Every structure is written in C-alpha cells, then in structure tokens.
Amino acid sequence: MADDHFIVRTGLVAVIQAESDLTVVAEAADGAEAVNLFARHRPDLALLDLRMPVKSGTQAIEEIRSEFPAARILVLTAFSGDEDIAKALRAGAHGFVLKSSTGEGLIPAIRAVASGDAWIPRDVATRLAVRQSYEELTPREIQVLREIARGKANKEIAATLAITEYTVKDHLKSIMGKLHVAVRTEAVTAAVQRGIIEL
Amino acid sequence: MADDHFIVRTGLVAVIQAESDLTVVAEAADGAEAVNLFARHRPDLALLDLRMPVKSGTQAIEEIRSEFPAARILVLTAFSGDEDIAKALRAGAHGFVLKSSTGEGLIPAIRAVASGDAWIPRDVATRLAVRQSYEELTPREIQVLREIARGKANKEIAATLAITEYTVKDHLKSIMGKLHVAVRTEAVTAAVQRGIIEL
DNA sequence: GCCGGCATCCCTCTTTCGGGGGACGGGAGA
DNA sequence: TCTCCCGTCCCCCGAAAGAGGGATGCCGGC
C-alpha cells in the first residue's frame, strides 16, 4: 500500500486490518518505494495513490506491471484529472477507489480486484467518457501549453523552444482545437482541470 | 474532528487515540456538522480540515469562534493556497498541521494548541510572508478574474457584469498590478495557486 | 508506396490585450 | 473635513493574439 500522506496510510491500515481476511504487508510513502516493496513482498494486491513524490503512481504501475505482469493493482485517487485516471488505466491499473469513499467502498474494491475483476466506479467511468470527447495533446503541444500557463507570450515561447513564433501559434491553434476552447487562458484552465498540466 | 474523507478521519482517530491523554469525542464529515458537534460536545480542541463540503473549514471556524470565543482550533491542511491559510488565521485558527505530516508532527501541535499556544510550521509561515508580497483583491476584481479564468473576453465580461469594457479593463489592470503579473493567463494561474479562485 | 500525424515555417487580416493617461461619485476612516 | 479606496467611465496606441489560408520534411503503419 502506497500513499505519501502518513495520516491516510494509517487510516487505510486501520480499515483494511479490520477485515479478518485482509492484511497490509507493506507501506510505501512514494512510488519508488512502492515498486521496491512490491518486488520484495509480492502481495496479492497493490493499493496505490496516484499523486506521490519521487515517482508517480502511474510510473510505479508501469514498472510493477512490466516486471510482474500478473500483479493486481487498485488505484486510490483523490480529485484526479481524467487524464491521470486514463493514464493509470493504460499503465495497467485494474480498479479505482475515490479517497472520499468509506470502508464500504474500499473493501469490496479490494476483494474484486484481488480476485481478478475490474472495479471502476460509475462516476469515474463517466469522466473517462467525457475525456474521450477531446483528442490527446502531443508532447510538443503540452510543452507549449506549460509555457503559456506561465504567462509567456508566443514570441518568448518561440525563443525558449528555439522555434519561430509561427510554429508556436500553430501549436496553440492545435491545442485550442483539441480542447474545444477559443482562447489561451481557457486552454490552460481546461488542461489543468483535466490533469494534462499542473500549476 | 472534521474531515470529509473517511479514510483520513480513520487515520486521525488511530493516531490520536494512541495517545493515552487524548480522545476524539466526535467526528464530522463537513463544516456544518463540525459546528453542531462542537456546540454539543464543547471539546478542548477542534481539529478541522479547510476544504469541506456544505460549509468550508473557514466558515466553521468563524461560527465556532463567534459562539465560543475560548474555543481552541487546529487546522489540518493539505496543499492549501496561502489565501486559505490567511483566511483561516483571520477567522481565528490557532495552529496548522500539514496533512503530509506524521504523528510526530500532529500530536505536539494538538498539545500546543490545546494548552493555549499557537502552532505554525515554518513553511506555512514562509508562505504567509510570500502572500504579503501582493495586495488583496477586491470582490469585484475576483468576480472579473473568475470570468477571465473561464476564457471570457473583456467584452463578454462587460456584458455579463453589466458594466462597460473600459471598466473590465481597469479591473484587470488592477488585478495584474496586485498579483505582479503582466498577462491575464498568468493572473489566473497565480490566483489559483494562491487559492484566490478555484477551477 | 501512399497516407496521416507531427513538427516546422510562412503570410495576412481583424480583433483583443495591455499600458499610459484623466475623471468622478460614494463610502469608510483619520 | 479631507483623504483614500472602490467602482465606474473614457481615450489612445502599440503590441499581442487568433483565424484563415498554404507549404515542407519526416516517420510509422497499412
């Protein structure tokens, strides 16, 4: 089980240990630790937070799955832009639990994922459907978007990325088209809400 | 003790009950419940999350302090824009604990605040100092800023707020001046980071 | 071998922003 | 009272931004 908040880990342990057939075999505070501990303990299931220092939950999932293809992985997510969830799914997660859920939400998810089923709450599934209404941004576009979020003008972005202002404007056209927005400011807020970039 | 996440509440209870001289007398899942339970139980200390549904932590603090001026209040905050922290302080909080902190961070804070001292971690104090480097936005300015965050053009904002475009531009000038930024997009990101607006 | 997506460059034109100034009524406080 | 801040309106002007076109080279998949 991995989460960077000590309080949350304590809560999870308390909830899980209350079930006679469930045991927490190891606790990690970041993604890298999670990967190491998984290899050492080979648990029936990994419960991972997505936002963690050192190595993100998504990265941890990828590494665990590449080394142990049979690993069962349940993601614990708080606010989570849809982008994070989609990435975690692509990385190989089998289920999601929202941090706001009660023990009655968590325990069945653990049992389901451990026994080989998937577990995707309806609202998470809905957000994934919404997510599909826009296309994926290319790495270059995300790079440009990050600069825009920092308040840079097209000319400045062109200078830092060593391209012309024309190209920056083209990327921006593409970004706004994909996100279905008309101005750069909204492109930034939409991207933040979807978890494409962070502030 | 109040937090909207069941898992967090469970963790807090576990950590606090482990101390022989500390007891959790009541748990609330939102701000309104927190105010009610405080009035019923009159605890030595209230441990409150800032971001809660129904009624925010800050509102809860205000109401508790206005009814029970001697109430001792410790705030539990996760990421927290500086604005939230400053508001909580003005509302009458006596201390702050970061959600990432361990039991060794939480317990001394509880004891300190309960016994009448303040408890402000160094990094929180630093952020407050940073916060003072910009002036407070007026209600009208925040209203304009919210529209800007939604991607509205000055002309559109003027229409929805029933003022002229000149006035919108003037507010925007003032906003950018106060936040020390040069373009509207950066004004939005700066305001979000500081907790002045949300997305 | 062709097609699509990515990244790049280029041009034009209209609209919007952003910065500078000036002005006024109203309310809160020294 | 006088002053400061808020909210409002107004003007000018240069610099961005956004929308429309067209064009090239490269890579990977069918």
pLDDT tens profile B92-149: 999 999 887 776 789 999 999 999 999 988 878 887 776 666 789 999 999 999 999 9
Burial environment of residue B179 by CB neighbours within 10 A (0 to 12, 13 to 18, 19 or more): buried
Q: Decide: CB of B176 under 7 A of nucleic strand C.
A: yes
Q: How many residues does chain A have?
A: 199
Closest CA to A198 of B198, B189, B127, B191: B189
What is the Cα–Cα distance from B185 to A184, expressed in whole angstroms?
A: 7
- Any CB–CB contact under 8 A between B133 and chain A? no
Q: Say whether A6 and B151 touch across the interface (CB within 8 A).
A: no
B66: left (phi over 0), alpha (psi -120 to 50) or beta: alpha
pLDDT of residue A158: 97
Contact indicator for A142, A197 with CB cutoff of 8 Å: yes
Whole-prediction pTM value?
0.91
pLDDT tens profile B18-63: 999 999 999 999 999 999 999 999 999 999 999 888 888 888 999 9
* Chain D nucleotides reached by a protein CB under 7 Å: 5-11, 16-22
The protein residue nearest nucleotide D8, judged by CA to C1', is B167
Residues with CB under 7 A from strand D: A 153-155, 169-170, 172-173, 176, 182-185; B 136, 138-141, 161, 163-164, 166-167, 169-171, 183
Tokens coding B30: 């939102």
**CA–C1' span, A123 to C10, in Å?**
46
pLDDT of residue B193: 92
pLDDT tens profile A93-104: 999 998 877 767
Residue A133 pLDDT class (50, 70, 90 cuts):
low
Q: Where are the alpha helices (DSSP H) in chain B?
A: 6-17, 31-41, 57-67, 82-91, 103-114, 122-131, 139-149, 154-161, 165-179, 184-193
- Any CB–CB contact under 8 A between A103 and chain B? yes
